[in-house]
Structure 1
Amino acid sequence: MKLKLLGSALIVAGTALGAGMLAIPMVLAQFGLLWGTLMMLFIWSGTTYAALLLLEASIKAGGGLGMNTIARKTLGKGGQVVTNGLLYALLVCLLMAYIIGAGDLVKKMLSGVGLELTMMQCQIAFALIAGVVVAAGTAAVDKLNRALFAVMVVMLGLTLVSLVPTISVDNLLEASSDSKIDLIKTSSVLFTSFGFVVVIPSLVTYNEDATHKQLRNMIISGSCIPLVCYLFWLYAAMGNLSAEQMVSFANVSELIAALGANHSIINVVLSVFTGLALLTSFLGVAMALFDQNADAFKQNRAVTYVLTFILPLAGALLAADKFLSVLGYAGIILVFLAVFIPMAMTIKLRGEDDSAFEVDATGVLYRAGGGHMAMGLSFLFGCFLLAAELI
């Protein structure tokens, strides 16, 4: 049981730890150490509380392989249609982006060993092979994700070992911008970097024998892992490069090249980390979409496999150079799905008699803490994110 919970926490962390991590220093460095850290903690706390609201709704609704069942039981048919529409749009956008990014990495890796394939062939191969793992079930994703996450931690550790000794305190304290509007604009990038909420219904079902307290701790610990990784990476990058340098970079490749100028290992290590980050995020998101399709269409695994990957793969092939644009669309959808929908589900369920819900083995029925005040703050958090997306 404990190993399953640990693996589930790592799925939460791995889904959040996408390639967007590498861009975080580029968007936050200009505001300095204090404001960059505060903004990161603010986004993490709001996202984690919204995830706990979804956990409460999932538990009280009796679990289910996807948000389809939870939405039907809590928000009725209208809410089910809206939730499914948002969820499909989000998951398809994310999978498209990950297939595009992974296809590029696979092409470069194969070229390095003398095997030349087209971008289309690499994207198709990645989606089909990685999709087989997802179709094998949550347990298979869990076991593979544990191994991949261990390697990611090693890669991040090597990066920090290389960069920490050369950190400049002056660079950490430097801030080239004091614009709070520009700081608010970064929240969309950070929010997407904590986009793990979609895997919660699958993990509740996977850990059906766990107590509600264990499920809560699984989510909190899983969300803390990317927070710590993001902050360490932010400090290491900020300490080695000036704020002016960070702002001048046009893409992540330039950031990696600048850090690698004095640390030859950085280029290789961060390339491996990027590939693993894409793969763990792909597995988490694809698992959520696979379980959603299994819940909605009630078909066998072969049919569900096709339903899950045909649309994202087709979209990736048609939008082969739109990685960042696709992620941008996903950000706005995620605000509704990760904040407002769980809130609506929880409000509906809290209006019912608690005796109607099943307690866990310890006789406890889970309820996210904070009461009406926390719920109101969560609503304001969602409004803040929408405003940041529209500025």
Structure 2
Amino acid sequence: MNVKLIGGMLLIAGTALGAGMLAIPMVLAQFGLLWGTLLMLAIWAGTTYAALLLLEATLRSGGGVGMNSIAQKTLGKQGQLITNALLYCLVTCLMIAYIVSAGDLVQQLLAQVGVELGLWESQLLFTGVIGAFIAQGTASVDKLNRVLFIAMIGMLFITLIFLLPNIALDNFQQQSNDNKIELIKNSAVLFTSFGFMVVVPSVVKYNQEATYQQLRNMVILGSMLPLACYLLWLIAVVGNLPATQLVNFQNVSELITMLSAEYQNLAVVLSVFTGLAIVTSFLGVAMSLFDQNKDLFKTNKLTTFLTTFSLPLFGAIWAKEQFIGVLGYAGIILVFLAVFIPMAMVLRVRSTHFKQVEGPFYQVAGGKSALLGCFAFGGFLLFSQLI
């Protein structure tokens, strides 16, 4: 695997591995480590298969900078409009959340070195600096993401050095809630934690000289990295804190405070890790929207930059922390965009009436049975968020 393929893999992993990771132990610990792990593995398998469906549709339709082109080629005008509407709603919501969180972090960091900025100024600074890298293209984002991702994994490794040696095995057997319906309700947290599909067209375009097998491996390995990190983090936290204590935390800061009380200097490490997780996720999500706008409007970089970042920035300034609660609805949008839309695209490209690119083509294994299973997976996710 060459450097660009590794960069694409890390972009996929970085987009998935966001700040939501810290919340996973709080929602899963009460159901026991076994059931939480099984649910996580099931959702990882479903989301990875759906991402491979999008990869197949991208390759067999001739590719494109963003999902706009793929949808236009496979689903027609109406499908293109629906896909764009879903993508803009989802990505804009995620970008607003990341700008709000990152702006607060930037404000605190600058205050520690004697620079006082307001929240909206900090948000503007963060958006401008990171947006400048994104406007330079995928290669620039790739290089920055590699550095940040390696640093983020380093912070996670340091955290695990603190936590893993002090694991209490008895904590793994604790289960304060055996209600499986309640467990299913938390599927949305895990599903959004693997929500990297929006960057697939961008990384395929970036690695257009790669073989189909290399691109498939890039997607699979890119999804396995966050899975490994999530499982290690879940084991470390559950092993150090009892489930009865974890379930009472109202937010991530309480979890960080509790772990920091047990281990000196861990607060700094976790804060840096959270910041890096926000930035890497923002890079992937914002890059997908930038490429989508470039593909849709076909304008210069400045206009594309303003189109991409203006609405999320104004939304973050206007909504502040209150907007974060709206993200619960983003999970439903993600189900349609990340599961049902790729399925519809694949059904179209596999039909005899579709004009495919010349030469050998890539097709995800499993046939109609796997597609039926993917449809059931999407239905399960909708059920988990509507019950």
Pick the TM interval, shorter chain. Answer: over 0.9
| Number of the residue aligned with 1:388 | 384
Q: What's the offset of the Cα at 1:274?
A: 0.3
Contact 1:18 1:193 in 2 (8 A): yes
Q: What's the offset of the Cα at 1:88?
A: 0.6
Does 192-201 or 262-271 show the bigger shift?
Answer: 262-271
What is the alpha-carbon distance in structure 2 between the residues aligned to residue 281 and residue 377 of structure 1? Answer: 28
Q: What's the offset of the Cα at 1:329?
A: 2.4
| Number of the residue aligned with 1:112 | 112
| CA shift digits 1:182-219 (9 cap, x unpaired) | 10011000000001000000111100000000000000
1:198 aligns with 2:194: no
| CA shift digits 1:98-137 (9 cap, x unpaired) | 0001011111111111111111111111111110000000
Does 325-334 or 216-225 show the bigger shift?
Answer: 325-334
Contact 1:10 1:222 in 2 (8 A): yes
Give the 3 Å change call, closer, same or farther, for CA 156–215 of structure 1 in structure 2. same
| Number of the residue aligned with 1:233 | 233
What is the alpha-carbon distance in structure 1 between the residues aligned to residue 250 and residue 318 of structure 2? Answer: 24
Contact 1:101 1:323 in 2 (8 A): no
Q: Which amino acid aligns with 2:46?
A: G
Q: What's the offset of the Cα at 1:327?
A: 2.4
Structure 1: runs of 5+ lacking an equivalent: none
Q: What's the offset of the Cα at 1:43?
A: 0.6
Once the two structures are superposed, the pairs formed by residues 1-391 of structure 1 within 5 Å of their partners are 2-322=2-322, 324-352=324-352, 356-359=356-359, 364-391=360-387
Q: What's the offset of the Cα at 1:331?
A: 1.1
What is the alpha-carbon distance in structure 2 between the residues aligned to residue 56 and residue 352 of structure 1? Answer: 16
SS for the counterpart of 1:372 is helix
What is the alpha-carbon distance in structure 2 between the residues aligned to residue 235 and residue 322 of structure 1? Answer: 31
Contact 1:94 1:326 in 2 (8 A): no
Contact 1:14 1:281 in 2 (8 A): yes
| CA shift digits 1:145-202 (9 cap, x unpaired) | 0000110111000000000011000001111110001100110000000010000001
Q: What's the offset of the Cα at 1:318?
A: 1.0
Structure 2: runs of 5+ lacking an equivalent: none
Q: Which amino acid aligns with 1:127?
A: T
What is the alpha-carbon distance in structure 1 between the residues aligned to residue 236 and residue 211 of structure 2? Answer: 38
SS for the counterpart of 1:320 is helix
CA RMSD of aligned residues (A): 1.1
TM-score, normalised to structure 1, is 0.97
Q: Which amino acid aligns with 2:378?
A: G
Q: What's the offset of the Cα at 1:355?
A: 7.8
What is the alpha-carbon distance in structure 2 between the residues aligned to residue 199 and residue 378 of structure 1? Answer: 20
Give the 3 Å change call, closer, same or farther, for CA 87–355 of structure 1 in structure 2. closer
What is the alpha-carbon distance in structure 2 between the residues aligned to residue 354 and residue 215 of structure 1? Answer: 23
Q: Which amino acid aligns with 1:53?
A: L
SS for the counterpart of 1:132 is helix
What is the alpha-carbon distance in structure 2 between the residues aligned to residue 315 and residue 228 of structure 1? Answer: 34
What is the alpha-carbon distance in structure 2 between the residues aligned to residue 284 and residue 260 of structure 1? Answer: 30
Does 179-188 or 256-265 show the bigger shift?
Answer: 256-265
Residue identity (%): 61
Contact 1:246 1:255 in 2 (8 A): yes
Q: What's the offset of the Cα at 1:265?
A: 2.5
SS for the counterpart of 1:116 is coil
Q: What's the offset of the Cα at 1:323?
A: 5.1
Contact 1:14 1:277 in 2 (8 A): yes
TM-score, normalised to structure 2, is 0.98
Q: What's the offset of the Cα at 1:367?
A: 0.3
Aligned length: 387
Contact 1:164 1:236 in 2 (8 A): yes
| CA shift digits 1:32-83 (9 cap, x unpaired) | 1110100000110000000000000000111100111111111110000000
What is the alpha-carbon distance in structure 2 between the residues aligned to residue 373 and residue 266 of structure 1? Answer: 47
Q: What's the offset of the Cα at 1:357?
A: 2.4
What is the alpha-carbon distance in structure 2 between the residues aligned to residue 343 and residue 320 of structure 1? Answer: 36
User: Runs in 1 of length 4+ with deviation above 2 angstroms?
Assistant: 352-359
| CA shift digits 1:208-249 (9 cap, x unpaired) | 000000000000000000000000000000000000000011
Contact 2:62 2:356 in 1 (8 A): no
Contact 1:47 1:339 in 2 (8 A): yes
Q: What's the offset of the Cα at 1:325?
A: 1.3
